[in-house]
Structure 1
Amino acid sequence: MALPNVWHHRRVGDSASKACWICYKPSTSVLITPDNKDFFYICVGHLKDRSFCTPDAAEASAAEERKKKEELDKEIELVKKGYEEKVKKRKERRKEKEKEKGKESKDEKKQDEEEDKKDEKEKEEKIKELEKKEPQAEAGDGPRIFALHRNFYQMRLDRIRNAEIAKRNRERMKSPNLFPSVPSNDL
């Protein structure tokens, strides 16, 4: 009956929400053991409480790294989109100039090429800066693996033990050998 003190955080749908084990408010967060022997509904606020549970260190750092990576990817995409819009506008201006003047001179073409190269370098520099920059750490999804505080863990163990004892007692009550029989010989 050794129940490990490892709990995985899972989410359920709004229609399946049940009362939190601590405060009895409706919750869609569930903590469950890896072997699915025990589970309970818990509020997200309680998961952040250090006196209730502590996140697995490796999982917490991995979650932070994922969050930073996502933010960095979003910023890089914004830089790329900005560059593409800039290039589109420049091409449109060139087309308008060509229509107005007919043909451009070689100097103007060289200037345009230099501007393109300059913009390309700026884009690459911004991307490198963003990759080096440390995004602000925010509590996003958070960790998914927790260890309960010893008192709460003991409460879960006691609950499981009491359920097993009650089951054994129900089975004993069903057996006819539990109660003594009536004496059969006459004295």
Structure 2
Amino acid sequence: MTSPFPNIYQLRRVSSDNAKPCTICYKSTQAVLVSSPDFFYVCESHLKDKQFCTVKYADGEDGKDAEYQSLHEEVRSLDQKATQIQHKIQQRESQLAKVRDYLWKPKDDENQPDLKKQLAEIIKQRDLASAKLEKFIKAYTRYMLDAVFYKSRLQQHSKKIRQQQIVQKLNNGTLFPSIPDLPKP
């Protein structure tokens, strides 16, 4: 049997006026997981829970997980470079370094790179890379529910369809059997 909707959900946000209770913990939330025609409100803290859902990137497209990993690695490496340069700057500006430079004049003043310019450049690169990573995450992040939660969503969907059919039969008058020989009033 095919399911009425796939187990791939996309995160959407609503305005604070339209916030509703989370399906799991009943706290007010603006996050909505959507898989047409199914949707439900959920706290963002639940999205980080491995027992609730797993993160997928761009349902079915190859290479998106690798692209995410490369962008994440680039941001992390730029962070490491920035911290190393900040450490070097702190070492140069320490009191011990100032005393050492005063007593023993460094010979290579012209050859030492300007660490503050390098730091500013690396921070600019890191900001660009992190913006690119955030844009990628926003565009391609999908959530795949755990089997238990997905089964629950399927059951709720089928229950909703059955209720709509009952209401439609009540409105049409076809829910109850008719008696053919009944005299009309």
TM (norm. structure 1) is 0.56
Larger radius of gyration: 1
- Which has a greater percent of helix? 1
What is the CA distance between 1:10 and its match in structure 2?
Answer: 2.1
- Give the counterpart of 1:146 among 143, 146, 163: 143
Equivalent residue, structure 1, for 2:113:
119
Q: Does 1:21 align with 2:29?
A: no
- 1:54 and 2:54 aligned: yes
Instruction: Specify every segment of 5 or more residues in structure 2 that has no aligned partner in the other structure, as ranges.
Output: 58-62, 86-106, 127-136
| 1:52-86 deviations in Å (ceiling 9; x for gaps) | 1111167666555445545666888997xxxxxxx
**Structure 1: which 5+ runs fail to align?**
80-110, 132-140
- Percent identity between matched residues is 24
Aligned partners of 1:59 and 1:144 also within 8 Å: no
Q: Provide the C-alpha distance between the structure 2 equivalents of 1:66 and 1:147, rounded to a whole number of angstroms.
A: 22
TM-score by length of 2: 0.56
After superposition, the Cα gap between the structure-2 partners of 1:65 and 1:11, relative to the gap in structure 1 and judged at 3 Å, is farther
Give the Å deviation of 1:184: 4.8
**1:2 corresponds to which residue?**
4
Q: Tell me whether 1:31 sits opposite 2:55 in the alignment.
A: no
Q: Which amino acid aligns with 1:5?
A: N
Matched positions, count: 139
Residue identity matched to 1:119 = P
From the superposition, tell whether residues 62 and 10 of structure 1 become closer, same or farther in structure 2 (CA, over 3 Å): farther
What's the Cα RMSD here? Answer: 4.1
